[in-house]
Chain A
């Protein structure tokens, strides 16, 4: 095995170029952890973990943290799995976090198929792979003879997606006594993803209901689907500025029961995304006005339920953490794709903690039962993570 030797590892401390030169070695050496990483991916991914019901997956992760000898391995009251890998000096605390929950219901068949080139199954990329990497990290660092100065706080964050609204990570950052200096969010894919700022976001549902005893003789009395259609038409008319960039994503729509009965309920899921807090508020108020208007015209009961919000912010393009991440990616021939995030990053931003989110490998069919991640690029993604950790640890990412 092409281990990173003690001499090489201590040389890393001297310059950023040394870290860059070690990356190919780290990538090759970490191949020897292939079976353990893939086994973690499979075993984590086969435990259903829908948002608000992550208990079994968290229990598995916690057991792994205990087996790895992490300190303070525990699950907090929000259901986050936590463990600390102490550093040599413990001068700063780096939080590496992956979300534990998935968009897949517990009733979905979570069987994972392992092929020589890829892993296939619901949630393998989002985010069983990210979580597997966090769980395998202590063993990988040991294998590579890398001992950080900083404490590494490893976390499987519960209640991240949808209505979870990053509740797990927010809870930890608000209540933990451990001061976090830097955060790294891990997503299974895509490799090359580099998020260091968060866009503003409103996530919610528009719920349209008409009563069973609805007066069908009234204007617009065509049931909940056409009423929702009216709402959508008005949303389409909202004028969005080109700068700051803003968009309204209509993500999913559900409604009705059968072919031959008029629908009494419709739910539209949406996100407002914008670089400007003010524009976000304006769009939100316009949507409120649309709903009032359509509701008064049709007599339908229409509710606007916004259950998750993000505020724009983050570190700048020139921040040393963002610069270091780009250089490390470049050294590994990864094309960085700057991608504003609505994920874990915004929880860090709310606490003024410099943070990035990165992806680990390439994949496709995201969010489908046939979600697929490629195995070979994982080791490049892994070298990228360890490179960034070393850069933070050795003080190359601090804005001070």
Chain B
């Protein structure tokens, strides 16, 4: 599929889907269930607002969502209490499929949501969005409702207002522009059409989610895109412009950790798919440096990107959802 034609047919703006009545009617006609999963770790400041706005707008006023679930990685603040106070279903990640242990990372919560939630479509929204709005959900879910061939819808954030120049950068984050886009350009050129491949907001059909592995750390978004692309093709992926997302900015050192984790995942995927041949054993230690009174000191961080298998391979899941 050509990038240009994909951009024309599979890139949306949330305002394309402003008519929520029609969207809900179409969802009901298809008898779809839609679940919202908000993975959390110490998000007490923003979680209440997300739950209230989605409950008000997309459960009570326009019944687009069938459940709103917070899957929490043992927050030490009041995240779970605040979310529950506003009516969300709150789960502790370690209590879901307890026989499989507990891994630390956002991908773990996303993976366990597939088992815990009921939806035919699961939409994942990060909990740290300061300017939360219903468009974050309906903008991602709508392409799946209106276009049956689309399986995976990714958010991107642009500001299509006035610009003094005819062209401008598309606005990916630093890790996207420095790491992901060059890697995709080398190995999966078509995936470069995704404006923000690392955005944490996406909606996916269960039939796809339960068939792909889940890195539990930084690499989950990159891994998803490669796997969905490899198995279902670029036509199964879409992206929606949600305008603007206000969130915490991360310091450069944290972006280094993120890039390291993503790179590990990326290399594992290209090796598994036979794109790159066999790789030597890779170090899991990231070495960063700091200066203490004019002396350079090494900080060695062990970042191991572990991976959960496709949920379809978990017997408890097959039993719960009646898959033989």
User: A interface vs B, CB < 8 Å?
Assistant: 35-36, 38-40, 42-43, 46, 67, 111-116
Contact = CB atoms under 8 A, between A and B. Distances in A.
Given A35-B86, A36-B61, A111 B131 contact: yes
Nearest to B59: A35
A115 B131 CA distance: 16
Contact of B53 (A39, A67, A113, A116): A39
Contacts of B81: 116
Given A43-B133, A116-B82, A35 B49 contact: no
Contacts of B53: 39, 42-43
Contacts of A35: 52, 55-56, 60, 86-87
A39 B57 CA distance: 8
A123 to B, nearest CB: 16
Contacts of B52: 35, 38-39, 42, 114
Contact of A36 (B48, B60, B86, B130): B60
Contacts of A42: 49, 52-53
B272 interface: no
B106 to A, nearest CB: 22
Contacts, number: 43
Interface in B38-62: 45-46, 48-49, 52-53, 55-57, 60-61
A40 B55 CA distance: 12
Q: Which 6 A-B residue pairings sit nearest by Cβ, starting from the closest? A: A39-B56, A114-B48, A116-B85, A114-B49, A35-B56, A35-B55
Contacts of B133: 43
B60 A46 contact: no
A46 B131 contact: yes
30 contacts: A35-B52, A35-B60, A35-B87, A36-B56, A36-B60, A36-B61, A38-B52, A39-B56, A42-B52, A42-B53, A43-B53, A43-B133, A46-B131, A111-B130, A111-B131, A111-B246, A112-B49, A113-B45, A113-B46, A113-B48, A113-B49, A114-B48, A114-B49, A114-B52, A115-B48, A115-B82, A116-B81, A116-B82, A116-B85, A116-B86
User: Interface size bucket, B side?
Assistant: 20 to 34
Interface of B: 45-46, 48-49, 52-53, 55-57, 60-61, 81-82, 85-87, 130-131, 133, 246
Contacts of B85: 116
* B contact face: mostly helix, strand, loop, or mixed: helix
Contacts of A113: 45-46, 48-49
Nearest to A115: B48
B51 to A, nearest CB: 8
Contacts of A38: 52, 56
A43 B57 CA distance: 11
A43 B134 CA distance: 10
Contacts of B246: 111
A151 B60 CA distance: 26
A276 to B, nearest CB: 47
Given A35-B60, A39-B56, A42-B52, A114 B86 contact: yes
Nearest to B83: A116
B61 A116 contact: no
Contacts of A115: 48, 82
A18 to B, nearest CB: 30
Given A35-B55, A36-B60, A111-B130, A116 B48 contact: yes
Given A35-B86, A39-B53, A42-B52, 5 more contacts: A35-B52, A42-B49, A113-B49, A116-B81, A116-B85
A67 B86 CA distance: 24
A43 B85 CA distance: 19
Nearest to B48: A114
Contacts of B49: 42, 112-114
Nearest to B44: A115
Nearest to A38: B52
